[in-house]
Chain A
Amino acid sequence: MKAIKLIIILVFSYAKIVAQDSTDLMTQLEKQEPPKTNYTFATFKSTRLITGHSVENIGKGVLDVRILHRFGPVNRGIYDFFGLDYASMRMGFDYGITKNFMIGIGHSTWQKTYDAFFKLKILRQSSGAVNMPVTLSVVSTIAIRTDLAKRDTFNKRIHTRFDDKTSFAEQLIIGRKFSDKFSMQFMPTFIFNHNKIDSINTYTQNNKNIIRGQKRKNTFAFGIGGRLKVSKRVSINAEYYYQLPDAKPDKKFNSVSLGVDIETGGHVFQLHLTNSNGMTEKSLITDTDDKWKDGYIRLGFNISRVFNVGKH
């Protein structure tokens, strides 16, 4: 009897070993794997949400050539071909030094502005071993306008100091990809505006803006933006910058933009409607002259083409 019992026990324990097939071992191996950090990617399709920056950086060694256009307001009617007769453009070159640090330069026709920026990604949204709810980036931009006259009508030297032409925009971008389709970001922005654009006495002479007066204003603005993917390669974007009322320059409005991103391989094509003309942070946020309500809506587009130039 004892022997039969033993046989039964042994047969069962043997059966147990056999039942441990390779499926179980694979499950065990997968469980043994240390948890990995899953970094979120593609929160937005481009490094720009519409005109302003998104939390995205371009890859290391990648050159991004960007051509941006903003046309005139559509309410000008058929005579100006709904604004298309006028175009303001910015041409820019961005380069990724590391995957978290990029720089860029550009030139805009608007106020003949030269600009340069850097963007540093400080935190990356992730799950798994490291759980981080948001991506955090810092963008610092300098813009220099070169359309200001050196002398006023009384032949007095003005705007000769570098300081008079220069503005800085310091931006913190906090973004989160909530799902594959939906992402949002907040952009608190401080603008050190050294341009004397708010002066009471502005007029044009010889195609140059002559500005008198010494008033200058720094602005704090709060931006909010998001995207909703409608297909794998198309998304709808929105971007809004709210300027704090006491810091808002006179007769300027908040920038509101709606856009569509279309991505094909190395190209991103962004088409949008906006009330802003400027394409640097300072001119986008503090130099918007028109309101959507009055029909001052401009058609605009960004074209981005990336080239892999550096080592990977």
Chain B
Amino acid sequence: MQSRFIFILIVFITTNFSLTAQKLYTKNGFVSFFSKASIENISAENNQVMSVLTLPSGELQFSVLIKSFHFKKSLMEEHFNENYMESSKYPKATFKGKINDLSKVNFTTDGNYTVDVTGDLAIHGITNKTTTTGIITVKSGIITATSKFKVKLADYKISIPKIVKDNIAETVDVTVSCVYDQKI
């Protein structure tokens, strides 16, 4: 009788835990960047970003295919892939990190919650520790994560030749926006 009770208790606890340890993910997240320089502004967008957010731990991951960034000018896209990002050598940019204060997000109440994110950002084969803030938006049960941060090209060994230094900014603005439309 006692053993049966323990069994039921254990089943209850485990199922309960596996329900709370939930993974939200998306395959069509959005990442864009913007470079402001004296001669020209350059921007590109990527709509095929994969991201996984684990609850309640706050583990956060991004995987961004470099070749999926699209530019207005085809030659820019070619140079971006060939000369700057070397996408055949380094096909992906990734982020592996954590939302430090996910506990302050109330997933049952609609609203915007500003959170701190830390983690490893890997671009062009170089990994750097990064810290930024993001916004978690809860709206009728759907969770969206957005963030804006700056990436200094020199930190990732993306070199800009002197002759085009007026065309490309040293630091670019990156915007991330993911609607976690799927879950496990």
Interface residue ranges, A against B (CB under 8 Å): 2-3, 6-7, 10-11, 13-14, 17-18, 21-23, 25-26, 29-30, 33, 38, 41-42, 59-60, 62, 99, 180, 232-233, 264-266, 306, 308, 312
Contacts and interface: CB of A to CB of B under 8 A. Distances in A.
A232 B82 contact: yes
Interface in B115-152: none
A204 B88 CA distance: 56
B63 A26 contact: yes
B27 A265 contact: no
Of the four ranges (under 10, 10 to 19, 20 to 34, 35 or more), the interface on chain B belongs to: 35 or more
A7 B184 CA distance: 25
Interface of B: 2-4, 6-7, 10-11, 14, 17-18, 21, 23, 25, 27, 50, 52-54, 59-61, 63, 67, 72-75, 78-79, 81-83, 86, 88-89, 96, 161, 163-164, 167, 184
Given A7-B7, A23-B96, A264 B163 contact: yes
A180 B75 CA distance: 17
Contact of A23 (B18, B61, B83, B86): B61
Nearest to A96: B74
12 contacts: A6-B10, A7-B10, A13-B14, A17-B14, A22-B53, A22-B61, A23-B96, A26-B50, A26-B52, A59-B73, A265-B163, A306-B75
A265 B82 contact: no
B38 to A, nearest CB: 14
Contacts, number: 89
Contacts of B74: 59-60, 62, 99, 312
A11 B78 CA distance: 53
A264 B161 CA distance: 9
Nearest to A57: B74
Contact of A14 (B14, B27, B73, B184): B14
A274 to B, nearest CB: 26
A85 to B, nearest CB: 31
A6 B75 CA distance: 63
Contacts of B82: 41-42, 232
A26 B27 CA distance: 10
